Structure 1
Amino acid sequence: MVFKLFGSPLSRPTLRVAHILKEMQVPSEFVAIEVSAKEHKTAEYLKKQPFGQVPYIDDDGFVLFETRAICKYIATKWRGQGPALFPDPSDLKATALFDQALSIEYSNFDNTAINIALEKVYKPKYLDKPTDEALLVEQVRKLEEKLDGYEAILSKQKYLAGEYVTLADLYHLSFGSFITEEGGLTLLTNEAKHPNVSRWWKDISSRPAWLAVKGGL
């Protein structure tokens, strides 16, 4: 049975999973879910994803949702045929630093970047709603402040968990790319303010696997 990814073609979480599939060279079938038609809210879909969100995967009958869980599953199952995107679990300190990097992305980047994407792009372009300018300014300020911490880390090492790229770095791409390219913001590319963040962002955002999926599925 072919590995199947069920999601929306332009959904940022869906693209996150598609990216890791490319990184790990996993043959897969993409099954498009029409979000505008609320296919993700049907009774049949909710049997697989009880929260009515995209994406989920079906790997020969094994169903899994939540993008970070999916990506870790893919990177673990096919570890030998793509880059090692997390350390050997037997290396306690490297694993602890990886877990720390995962927490950094989730706690200090993801939610703020999503809020920026909502106000800067989704509302005016896709939802026909006005941007809350005060909220946008506050969220941009908040992320700039968080990137000061990123700069401190990345001034000492190449990636968030050390000297090689991990899932923790790649998880930034879905929404980081969105606010940079569609949102037109320079938070991640400002060499004058955050030179090491800019260096890191240029590195991870130019990976061939990401370039292959970032425009949609």
Structure 2
Amino acid sequence: MVLKIHGASQSTCTRTVAVVATELNVPYELVPVNFATAEHKSPAFTAVQPFGQLPYIDDDGFKLYESRAIARYLVKKYGGQGTVSLIPTGLKEEALFEQGVSIETANFYPSAIGFGLEKVFKPMRGVTPDEARAAECLKTLEAKLDVYDVLLGKQKYVGGNEITLADIFHLPYGQLLVKVGRDDLFESRPNVARWWKEISTRPSWLAVKDGA
């Protein structure tokens, strides 16, 4: 049975799962969830994903939600099918990977999603963005990326010297920043620019960045 991803093609978290599946050479079927009709809040959907958020997967009857958890599951089950491991197995290497995941979750994601909410998602819904909030998120993100530039001057990737999920998790919201014309956040920092160019041009991401 092919892996089923219940989500929306343009959803950031749906594309997170899709890029990991693609990186691992795991075929998947996207089962579209209609945002316009609030299908993600329907009893049928919330019976599986009680928070009514995208996506969840159905892997031959095994259902799982939360994109980061899904990504880890896919690597653990299908990791041998890809060209890279995405989760290291050595003690110190895995610790650096976990550190990298925490960096993304605590230092990149909150400001990136906050900025994206104001500049992309609210306008899509016809809601007036809070420009002060957007500016605050942007200022925080700039400071965080200054630290990224130092970190990436010492190691090749966020989670060590091999690409991991810690890097992959940056892609959807990083692309959102590029979409609204803020690619300067990456390009103005040489080590960040080198890293972003490498991860954002991977064939797996190019295959899903415009839609899972």
CA distance in 2, matches of 1:53, 1:131: 22
- Aligned to 2:4, what secondary structure does the other structure show? strand
Q: In the alignment, what sits opposite 1:130?
A: 128
Query: Are residues 1:180 and 2:206 paired?
Result: no
Amino acid at match of 2:120: V
Query: Are residues 1:21 and 2:21 paired?
Result: yes
Q: In the alignment, what sits opposite 2:152?
A: 154
Amino acid at match of 1:132: D
Give the RMSD, CA atoms, in angstroms: 1.0
Q: In the alignment, what sits opposite 1:78?
A: 78
Q: Report deviation, 1:188.
A: 3.5
2:187 counterpart (186, 190, 198): 190
User: Which deviations, in whole Å up to 9, do the C-alpha atoms of 1:89-142 show, x marking residues without a partner?
Assistant: xx2111111110000000000111001111111222x11122211111111110
- Aligned to 2:47, what secondary structure does the other structure show? helix
Amino acid at match of 2:86: L
Q: In the alignment, what sits opposite 1:206?
A: 201
CA distance in 1, matches of 2:132, 2:22: 38
CA distance in 1, matches of 2:132, 2:191: 29
Q: Could you tell me whether the CA contact under 8 Å between 1:144 and 1:187 is conserved in 2?
A: no
User: Which deviations, in whole Å up to 9, do the C-alpha atoms of 1:64-111 show, x marking residues without a partner?
Assistant: 0000000011111111110210101xx211111111000000000011
Q: Report deviation, 1:152.
A: 1.0
Q: Report deviation, 1:187.
A: 4.3
Give the unaligned 5+ runs of structure 2.
Answer: none
Q: In the alignment, what sits opposite 2:165?
A: 167
Q: In the alignment, what sits opposite 2:55?
A: 55
Q: Report deviation, 1:211.
A: 0.4
CA distance in 2, matches of 1:2, 1:211: 22
- Aligned to 2:36, what secondary structure does the other structure show? helix
Q: In the alignment, what sits opposite 2:34?
A: 34
Amino acid at match of 1:173: L
TM-score by length of 1: 0.94
Aligned residues: 211
CA distance in 2, matches of 1:11, 1:151: 28
User: Which deviations, in whole Å up to 9, do the C-alpha atoms of 1:8-34 show, x marking residues without a partner?
Assistant: 111000011000010000011110000
What is the identity percentage for the equivalent residue pairs of Structure 1 and Structure 2? 48
**Structure 1's 203 and 188: CA in aligned 2 closer, same or farther, altered over 3 A?**
farther
